[in-house]
Amino acid sequence: MYDLYRNMGENQYAEDTLARALYACEMAWHPLFDIRSANCRLDFEVEENRGMFMALFKHIQALSRASCHRTALELVKLLLAMQPDDPLGALCLVDNLAIRA
């Protein structure tokens, strides 16, 4: 839905659907899943986890477009902490966001 609204030029609706997707992912977390700990990992190969990765990556891009570069940088770090193999290529964003932050 996010991509559909973005392609139609409805950016406010796109951001709203993205926020809802991230909220749904957050509410589905197990109580022992601590996102701040260094040992929380999600496997991108598991299809159920891909939605979380894609929503976070699109949120990073939206934050960067909104000139919230520091927040986007912190979310890239979170994305890399959850999956160090970097299946989405978020490592390419780190240097650009770090300079702009």
- For the segment 15-32, what is each residue's pLDDT rounded down to a tens digit? 999 999 999 999 998 888
What's the rounded Cα separation, in Å, for the pair 64 and 58? 10
- For the segment 44-93, what is each residue's pLDDT rounded down to a tens digit? 999 999 999 999 999 999 999 999 999 999 999 999 999 989 999 999 99
Total Cβ atoms within 10 A of residue 97: 22
Q: Please give the helix or strand (H or E) that residue 76 lies within, else none.
A: helix 69-82
Would you state the pLDDT for residue 34?
Answer: 85
